[in-house]
Structure 1
Amino acid sequence: MAENFFDKFRLLTEKEDYQTVNTNIENGVVFRGTNLWVLIFAIFVASLGLNVNSTAVIIGAMLISPLMGPIMGIGFGMGINDISLLRKAIYNFLVATGVALATSTIFFLLSPISDAHSEILARTSPNIYDVLIAFFGGLAGILATSSRHKGNVIPGVAIATALMPPLCTAGYGLATLQLSFFFGAFYLFIINTVFIALATFIFVRLLHFPLKDLHSVQSEKRARRIVWVIVLLTLLPSIYFGFDIVQQSKFTKNANHFINNEAHFTNDYLLNKKIDAKNKSISLVFGGKEILPAEIQQLKLRLKNYQLDSSALEVKQGFAYLADNKNNESNEQFNQLTNALGMKEKQLNLVQLKFDSILNQQKLSVQIYSELKIQYPQLKRAIIEPSITINDSLMQTNTYLVLLNMSAGLPKAEKNKLEKWLKVRLNQANLKLIFQ
């Protein structure tokens, strides 16, 4: 039973013929004619997608991009010790990268839209998670290429590993002279390249494809050392950035907990908050009465309860803050705070109206009970309140419920008279009178 179960994971029985795999890899490596033009068009499509912030367009560009070819060729060439294929793959990879960068740079130089939308910003901060995506995507890619059951894996790998958008973002960085965008995006492209190639190299060795003789043990050792040095040099910065992202996420979570649980002052309400996880700072803008320095200090002392000891907390006093800084604050921010204050006032007014309505109802009920007690001394208790009647079809009708507990009963005529009096007194035509 166990043997049959583990047989499901065996790959050698589905392995494609070596010559077929080798031919497919070599054909995908070459960038000339059709492949080169398809790459240029794909770069234009991806750049347009980034420019208008369209995820669907970017995904379409990744599907038509032929960039996976030379990258898998690099990994395959290293895996079977084919120096000729490796050189060809590296050369075509460099050509493709250069053409892609030039195309995207030209596009963004000519484009009238220069804003960095979310799709661009998402490609400027690579980390260890991008390494894992590239590595497992590369494993899926070479597995599909080496298997007779290819399915639709390659398009999925092209989308997951996202080779096109980083190159286009790097071009955007060059065109707008924002070098931080260029280096961040190009580093993401290098991560994808290195770890797709590494996954291909590892899987080729696992599948025991025939190796070409390098005629020198030293040459093979040197090639392996070069591979692992490149992998480590690519991996280490991503680990640092990944750790930094985890820390920033933790800071943001703790800061939100702190604000929700502690940032409350009597007769004040929070108008705006800004959490800067990178610089470990929290800025709060309150509206209402003036917050005393002692109260702010007490709030800062509670930061340590949320692992925010080293963070900077700034409390700003709403409109007073804006008045003191009107030269530095935009009209838009002032309007936002005005609108927020207006919304808070409306909410408070609604709450006050509901409270007043309940209070008035209580006073009315007490008054009606006093009047009834004078007319009917046998009255012991009463419930007098608005209610809702619900029928079988779930129709709701507003009504008034009056329940009277009397020590002695009343004649029917007196009950009818009392009901009419209550309808007039309460100004409620729909009234339900119950005697106990």
Structure 2
Amino acid sequence: MKIPYFIRKLLHFFSLESELEDHDSVYDEIKRGVVFKGTNLWILIFAIIVASVGLNMNSTAVIIGAMLISPLMGPINGMGYSIATYDFELFKKSIRNFSFAILASLVASTTYFALSPVSTAHSELLARTSPTIYDVLIALFGGLAGIVAISSKQKGNVIPGVAIATALMPPLCTAGYGLATGQFDFFFGAIYLFTINTIFIALASVWISQLLKFPIRTIVDEGKKKKINSLITVVIAVVLLPSIFFGYKLVMQEDFLQKANQYVSNVSLYDGNYLLKYDIDAKSDKITLIYGGSILSINQKNAIIKKSKDFNLENAAITIEQGLTFSNMGDKDSELFKFKEQVVNLNTSLNKKNSEIDSIMSRQKFGLTILTEIKTIFPQIKGCIYSESLNFNDTLKTPRMTPIVILSSESRIQEADKKKINNWLGQRLKKKYVKIYFE
């Protein structure tokens, strides 16, 4: 009996029925949002100009402001709601108004970018030209939040948030930029992103409208219902499949970029040559390295390229170019040559010293490792000091590096145990001669 009761209580928390708006009120609100004339039309045009300025100046805050005042969500929700309730008149009206809104937006944004003296494609523009599966997820779940809010008595501030998350305005403005500058790859990429957002916001409206059992507004036979559902499935597949491909490419590019950065960091200094500049093209798997210093030989270049295999970059196209070289300097630059040569030598020595320091620090902490291991055999040992030093002796031709271990214990260690410890440390340190002291 407890399990069904628990499930009922859990479902009660997720239930929308108690907060559901009257069906006729929802219908009237969606119908009002579909219309694009007068106030809504002017707000749309102003929002498009604001978003275009934001994209032109690469200002995220301005773009967000434009998305907040945009009324584009209305006809999209109208399309989804009308499909779910088989209200074909509302669907036609939504399509007409939405098409008019798109046309007005493209005209406004294209006009702005055609007149704007700034034509550089900043990051905010570029971000709207390569949609992926992640944009599908954003549009779908944003649309779900939007239609749930419209259907609820407690609307709150969800609708403006959905407008920001699904980002309907920036792709339209980017498409206008592509038309104004003749860059049609921008236009088609942005229109595809806008189509993704539109389709999946509308699909979210269809699902929620059916889930909440909004009343069917038109008498329709089962054959027509199946035809409509089949058409929806085809549209979803046509829009979704390319986004999955682009999403896969994005993941591969991010993976390549991460590996390439690790590789570049590893070869930033090679045989006294500095990496002056590098370029990573993740889209075409290309890496360009420009070195300064002495002239790199063919073998040295091949060795640098071969290192890429350590970072799983076997298929990367790596180009090595020579930048500043000391050998090209004349007599008048001899002082500069000497100075730069000293810098190279100092940097090489510094890297070597840093490696030695790291090695020393690691050896100093080795006493903790020994203490941890030896306590499992001899629990009475409570402390360990480990060091290494050269042992100078008249009988030795060269000094011998000898480990020194000082062990402290709470109670006296028996002679038999000391021999066991001596043997264990000799095998553990792989040294024939180990100096061991007991405190």
Task: Give 3-state SS (helix, strand or coil) of 2:270's partner.
Answer: coil
What's 1:162 paired with? Answer: 167
Q: In 1, are the aligned partners of 2:30 and 2:77 still within 8 Å (CA)? A: yes
Cα deviation, 1:280-336, whole Å, max 9, x if unaligned, reads 111111111222211221232232232211111111122259x9xxxxxxxxxxxxx
Q: Is residue 107 from structure 1 mapped to residue 112 from structure 2 by the alignment?
A: yes
Task: Give 3-state SS (helix, strand or coil) of 1:269's partner.
Answer: strand
What's 2:15 paired with? Answer: 10
Separation (CA, whole Å) in 2 of partners of 1:115 and 1:77:
41
Separation (CA, whole Å) in 1 of partners of 2:313 and 2:63:
39
Q: Is residue 49 from structure 1 mapped to residue 54 from structure 2 by the alignment?
A: yes
Q: In 2, are the aligned partners of 1:263 and 1:299 still within 8 Å (CA)? A: no
Indicate which of 200, 204, 212 corresponds to 2:205: 200
Q: In 2, are the aligned partners of 1:276 and 1:282 still within 8 Å (CA)? A: yes
Separation (CA, whole Å) in 2 of partners of 1:52 and 1:38:
21
Indicate which of 315, 322, 328 corresponds to 1:317: 322
Indicate which of 304, 307, 310 corresponds to 1:305: 310
What's 2:86 paired with? Answer: 81
Q: In 2, are the aligned partners of 1:269 and 1:286 still within 8 Å (CA)? A: yes
What's 1:295 paired with? Answer: 300
Task: Give 3-state SS (helix, strand or coil) of 1:134's partner.
Answer: helix
Per the alignment, do residues 214 and 221 of structure 1 end up closer, same or farther by CA in structure 2, a change over 3 Å counting?
farther
Q: CA deviation at 1:169?
A: 0.6
Cα deviation, 1:28-59, whole Å, max 9, x if unaligned, reads 00111111111111111111111111111111
Separation (CA, whole Å) in 1 of partners of 2:310 and 2:157:
51
Matches within 5 A, 1:359-398: none
Q: Is residue 95 from structure 1 mapped to residue 131 from structure 2 by the alignment?
A: no
Separation (CA, whole Å) in 1 of partners of 2:224 and 2:50:
42
What's 1:128 paired with? Answer: 133
Percent identical pairs in the alignment equals 51
Separation (CA, whole Å) in 2 of partners of 1:105 and 1:245:
29
Q: Which runs of 5+ in 1 are unaligned?
A: 324-337, 356-436
Matches within 5 A, 1:208-227: 208-227=213-232
Q: In 2, are the aligned partners of 1:214 and 1:220 still within 8 Å (CA)? A: no
Q: CA deviation at 1:261?
A: 2.8
Residue 240 of structure 2 aligns with an amino acid whose one-letter code is L
Q: Is residue 62 from structure 1 mapped to residue 63 from structure 2 by the alignment?
A: no
Separation (CA, whole Å) in 1 of partners of 2:190 and 2:288:
30
What's 2:194 paired with? Answer: 189
Q: In 1, are the aligned partners of 2:277 and 2:291 still within 8 Å (CA)? A: yes
Q: In 2, are the aligned partners of 1:269 and 1:288 still within 8 Å (CA)? A: yes
Q: Is residue 26 from structure 1 mapped to residue 36 from structure 2 by the alignment?
A: no
Residue 192 of structure 1 aligns with an amino acid whose one-letter code is N
Per the alignment, do residues 91 and 22 of structure 1 end up closer, same or farther by CA in structure 2, a change over 3 Å counting?
same
Separation (CA, whole Å) in 2 of partners of 1:49 and 1:74:
29
Moved over 6 A (4+): none
Cα deviation, 1:374-428, whole Å, max 9, x if unaligned, reads xxxxxxxxxxxxxxxxxxxxxxxxxxxxxxxxxxxxxxxxxxxxxxxxxxxxxxx
What's 2:255 paired with? Answer: 250
Aligned pair count reads: 335
Q: CA deviation at 1:164?
A: 0.5
Indicate which of 110, 116, 122 corresponds to 1:117: 122
Q: In 1, are the aligned partners of 2:33 and 2:75 still within 8 Å (CA)? A: yes
Q: In 1, are the aligned partners of 2:129 and 2:193 still within 8 Å (CA)? A: yes
What's 1:277 paired with? Answer: 282
Task: Give 3-state SS (helix, strand or coil) of 1:224's partner.
Answer: helix
Residue 273 of structure 1 aligns with an amino acid whose one-letter code is Y
Separation (CA, whole Å) in 2 of partners of 1:180 and 1:348:
50
Residue 153 of structure 2 aligns with an amino acid whose one-letter code is R
Q: In 2, are the aligned partners of 1:25 and 1:69 still within 8 Å (CA)? A: yes
Q: CA deviation at 1:223?
A: 1.1
RMSD: 2.4
What's 2:179 paired with? Answer: 174
Separation (CA, whole Å) in 1 of partners of 2:308 and 2:302:
10
Residue 72 of structure 1 aligns with an amino acid whose one-letter code is N
Q: CA deviation at 1:108?
A: 0.8
Between 1:291-300 and 1:230-239, the stretch displaced more is 291-300
Q: CA deviation at 1:270?
A: 1.3
